[in-house]
Structure 1
């Protein structure tokens, strides 16, 4: 007599050893569709509704697992890049390539597309060796396409670079000038100057940080005219919210001087109210200003009790701050 799969499944269930699991999640739960089955019993497991019963199966090889960080292999194990020394689903070769592995494959390894390879070259399914004449950017051996790095050819102005020797001579200097990752047409060493992608021209940097930090004072920026705008010249310029303070570049403005502000970060009190830095009170029942907790810490001093928030031990009555909470010493 032939037994149907239904009766076979029931026979297996009846003779299987008991487990410590909830009976509702054992194989054999009645179903009309997979949606009727409970949650999977573990990683790389899945339920299937077979002839009216929920049956626990290994997930198909290639199924994403561990929040997409790995894939299920043929042994129903969640395999991640670099953990098994074998080629798992979606890898193009052992522990490299594919949409999940961050590691690129070395020359001679299998590939599907150029980005699978460390040389950025996939030829006939194999990562090809680098060349300085293939019109492909090999980021390991070249600074830009077929130039710089290990290539004899120097990169022209406007091309990418890592060091001066990647670049063709800049102007009459006789030496290459790599500034901020771009080969320059001229040395471009003055403050508030940078080289332009594509042309290598030396251009002004208006309203922003000096890319090379070459202004006289630390933290200085470039103003609208492309000149250094420092935080000690006695005037409000560039991004400052008040004279020589605020703006995210100069030191915070002092609440004691009622400095002008745009945000709380512009103020040494961490409180900007109506465009003016103000000193919050330490008895207003609010956590405001630079306080680490309600009316304590920060400008309020060592006044936070056990369990209250802190940044440094000086915020706490106990003089002990662990994991940003005041603790018993």
Structure 2
């Protein structure tokens, strides 16, 4: 109340003072402040002249020249405030100071774990939420207003390990170390160590020889030695089963083998079992000795092991060992009879031979060469068309063609020198000489070509084991001088005792002297046939059967058919029930032989037994060179044992001649003896005598190519008639032979050589005994 009265008084004085000032003269008269009376108000002209009142809610005013105080407006804050008390001191407009709630004036206690809050003018510091960061790195509020390091171990820095884990005790972080020796859950396998805790939160290695280094190799050991890992190889031949292997190689690899004994083939190379071969240095597979013998390998040499002849180079296997090559057969065969005079001479060896070691002489004369053919105990030998043979039968058969050809009714022996060698260079163990020799057929008793087309060759061994050719065949030959149309004809076959005939039809034309090949059924062995002219499916026997040439295609009937339609008929083999003439033709004794008509298929006496012989099979077809037969020519009487063969004749002299080309030869003498004809003096009218010459490689008794000229009676010498003659020598220089020939009937001739020929005992015609004629320019 007192404050308000005083204030009113002051305000009144200030107002009066102001009024006086307004009139322009201060009350004291000197323009300055007047002296206030005791207890009076100061004088003023404006509020700035007044001292501020002590009451912060009052402001000095100059009222009527006197200083007074007036309340400031309500809401004016006082100068003095207490921070953080949640109130503001302000004036109430009546000069009084009053507190007013101020919630922004929070009580800041500086604790990051408490909040600073004013609520309706009341201050407080409640704790913040648990887990609130305190501000320092890693600090956290505990919910009670305290800032701590942790509430749980996870709040602590770092991370837990097997050997050390974080702890939180009473808000402070710490660590707990695992006991020394505690193993870590994750270990490096196969390093022979174990990582454990060291008791101080760290780790340390510890030897663990049970932690072996497993390398997955079956041929190495997994070893730890005092903490040191290794994989040493297992011992040689230790069992394994990796990568197809079976045994360890001692160097840590699983292989198929370490030695040949561990392989089926007996061959081990670089740990691998090799297939048997012919160059592996081991006897394996089908071999009979090291790299030889058996199927697929070269034959073995002499002294090496064998099971069959084919295992040996020489083709001979005796007591399980290969022997040197040997002669196993000749063709014509030793002791054979009736061989055609056109025969080739073949030698079959036990194995493949080197043809260069099988040379033969090419001219008649003293025996030379590795292979020889002789009629006089090898004093002289035949010549051949070529020195080297034609090889066949996988190199085991050597064939030569006699030049001149063989003679009728003569025995020939074959000799093979020990210088003959197999393809491996091994010579024969011993020379070969035929013990008996082969005999040739006797000459025909009548002129050839009494009919035209004939069956000329029969081969039933085609495709058999050891066969030369894969197919059977029947060969025909036109012996005549005109072509023959075979349309509507057939060849027919029946077994040796059969009555059923199998028909193969023919076609085309057969030229004069030509051949015609009819192929029949076959097998797997042997070489392919030459091109056939007709083809059938008849399976023929090699050893015995019956063949008919028919000018019709209807099948014959019966075991021994007959009739004009049968143009030729051959029964061959000893069991054939039908044949032409006195007996059967011979059957082949092997699949390399055939039954062949004599004299290049010209002989036809109407007798199967006389007209055929066996020889090495040699099929001929329509492309083969024609071989015309002398259908109305001379007949050889030598070795016929017929009455028309002279008892004796020879070339008397000279024993050889050398003349100039186209010059007349000197007189040549010859003698003849025939009982009941030549004993009487003077010439016999029954005897016709000729002298002639021909090439040295032609046999006048079995080949054409000689020329003969009449000779005249010269003298009676005992019971012999001696003749003389000469001729004009050929114009072409070269080597020739000359001879006499004599006949009793003008057709059938006895040919004469130097040492005598004829039907007399011990006499035979020999081409080696024909005198030489040398024609010089």
Q: TM-score normalised to the size of structure 1?
A: 0.31
Higher helix share: 1
Q: Which has the higher contact order (CA 8 A, sep 6+)?
A: 2
Bigger Rg over Cα: 2
Higher strand proportion, which one? 2
